[in-house]
Structure 1
């Protein structure tokens, strides 16, 4: 996708109806799609460093969409997301999900999650190890499992297909695109309490943005961009979005399996998950100390040598574990990554495992849509679009208000940065793996 305008045009045609989305991954694309769907008359512009390739987490997301979460907020957003993805051709495959355990506490967790899922309106069924193994026979050894929980409506999302669809549809509806690297921001204070982002600094000059609404959909780069004010951070509110390392690997390519594709599988006791990618299998693990990173030009990080052992241990959980590549390569440049090899996929965590979605209180024209996974991207984008476009004649529904309060960018006000960082890192092992 090519740029449809340039900085000179934006500066020569300021408009209070302009919405600038910074970030073109699945979240920014979903925002462009849903904001333009409303036909509100706003001029929507999406800015990204690369409109031709996904440099953020969207480009390497494993794609599992598990709708049940310990947080009812995330469960609702995931359900809304699946409804959206099902309308995207080739975007979502409802292959289902399996959770496995062999410990007494893990089996109790499965029983509790079955009840929670049904209360949330999600199909869930406890199945025998033999039934679980029949759904993914190359992955699961029935003799090593004591119980399993099957989520029939979960599935896998093709993040690249979904993102491309959203962007194409947004462009048809008149959304403009600008391929350029954002390097910082300049704020302007009207009084002691509120500021505005008056200019967006880019590698090719400044964009006048004082009259625009700006949305950061910038994933793992959000914290660094918030700190990129000319003399101080853009906002005084703590926004603890912490980029962390995560190992993922594949088998060698193979012919697609005959019959139904495997469900996404999680080994609850071992912090390991696997999926059928069609022409190869994938494997990831959260069973290691969290590693904070500072991403540079992409969300693929340098490979820590310790991840070789992490993947070796993870692969032992699978019946076909010896087919997975477990040794990465320690390279300093992200561009050396090959998509069929083990890689360190950077993503963002927060102190409460919830995204940031909403208006930043002390910056009048800034909204956040960050730390959002593929699992909840569309649901969060729809929620935020409704709130941004809501006029004075319409109040926020009670359901939307509850979601927005939980995702409020100001929710960590008054807390110490070091404490928030530690809390966020401690959440890494809870992403898929509650204590069992």
Structure 2
């Protein structure tokens, strides 16, 4: 997609009714779309380093949307997200999700999750191993699992299609798009409160005086606002980029009949899905690795991931069909699609996103560390809060969600401790220890 304006044009027409979204992945695109739906005088601009390619986590997300989470906040946002995705042609397929275990503690966990799901009006059914295997026979060996829960309204999201839809719809509603690489921010102070005065890019500065700035910058957020040379906020924003291996089978004919559900082996921290012409597999069963992302969300391949994938694939009936030798990608080399890769995403100390206004920077909002699972729900929540008129005003439930996602919630906690807490959450994503 071609940009609709440049920095010179943007700076020549300053306006207090301007909202600048930095980051054009699924979160930034959803924000542009939902803000543009309002009947308002806001001029909305989305800035991204590449308007043609999704260079962040959106571009390689496995796409599973499991609505039930140990956090009620994430469950609510995921349910809202699914309702949004279902309205997008080709955006969401309700294939269902299966969670498997073979241990007594795993049974207790699955039974508890089934009951919790009912409290959120999400259907969930305990299945026999044979019934679960019949839903995904190439993945599941009924003899190797003992307990299964099926979540029939979960599904898989095509993040690329969804993002393109949001962008196209936003563009028809007058949202402008600017292709620039953002490198940082300059602030000024007025009556003791900071403001983002300038967005710095590789090709010049964007004047943001009087504008609302929203960072939907994912894995790059902390490096943009928290480095020692240009500390934007005094509040710690612990968004920690981590490594994550994902792999595929070789191409195969598409399966006939009902699509396979997304499958998660909770005891082993492994998940798998049907991508149509091949299968995909990922695992969290390895020590967390903090990374420093550069141009894209594809990191160099650690050699240890070869064994990690080999161990993970042994849990699937068709495990021998998965590629386990990763790409020895070096900086500047292209990523080869449909081969094992190291996909970088963000973790936080409490596994919750950051969404809301930064208290000590009057015109700065965050929408970061947000997965595809909750992207649309979080974008709609923020749009209601930012617009703040009677038609789009937030409800008490919205305010409770925003309190939980408050960018200032880690005030006063040591930065190193927050990083350690974030990394520890990597292995808890599937609640294996609960």
| 2:18–2:44 CA contact under 8 A, matched in 1 | yes
Kindly state the Cα deviation for residue 330 of structure 1 after the two structures are TM-superposed: 2.1
Kindly state the Cα deviation for residue 334 of structure 1 after the two structures are TM-superposed: 5.6
CA displacement 1:320-377 (0-9 Å, x = unmatched) = 0000000113221264321110000000000000000000000000000000000000
Alignment of 1:259-338 (within 5 A): 259-333=257-331, 335-338=333-336
Alignment of 1:1-400 (within 5 A): 1-192=1-192, 194-227=193-226, 231-333=229-331, 335-391=333-389, 396-400=394-398
How many equivalent residue pairs?
Answer: 434
- 1:19 aligns to what SS in structure 2? strand
CA displacement 1:200-244 (0-9 Å, x = unmatched) = 111111111011000000000000111358x43100000000000
CA displacement 1:123-150 (0-9 Å, x = unmatched) = 0000000000000000000000101000
Kindly state the Cα deviation for residue 433 of structure 1 after the two structures are TM-superposed: 3.5
- 2:45 aligns to what SS in structure 1? strand
User: Tell me, which stretches of 5 or more residues in structure 2 are unaligned?
Assistant: none
| 2:384–2:392 CA contact under 8 A, matched in 1 | no
Counterpart CA distance in 1 for 2:317 and 2:390 is: 58
Residue number in structure 1 paired with 2:431: 433
Kindly state the Cα deviation for residue 435 of structure 1 after the two structures are TM-superposed: 1.1
CA displacement 1:153-174 (0-9 Å, x = unmatched) = 0000000000000000000000
Counterpart CA distance in 2 for 1:321 and 1:392 is: 54
- 1:266 aligns to what SS in structure 2? strand
Pair 52,394 (structure 1): closer, same or farther in 2 beyond 3 Å: closer
Q: Which runs of 4+ in 1 moved over 6 A?
A: none
Counterpart CA distance in 1 for 2:196 and 2:393 is: 26
Residue number in structure 2 paired with 1:418: 416
- 2:230 aligns to what SS in structure 1? coil
| 1:3–1:179 CA contact under 8 A, matched in 2 | yes
- 1:258 aligns to what SS in structure 2? coil
Counterpart CA distance in 2 for 1:117 and 1:106 is: 16
Q: Which moved more, 1:202-211 or 1:301-310?
A: 202-211
Superposition RMSD on alpha carbons, in Å? 1.2
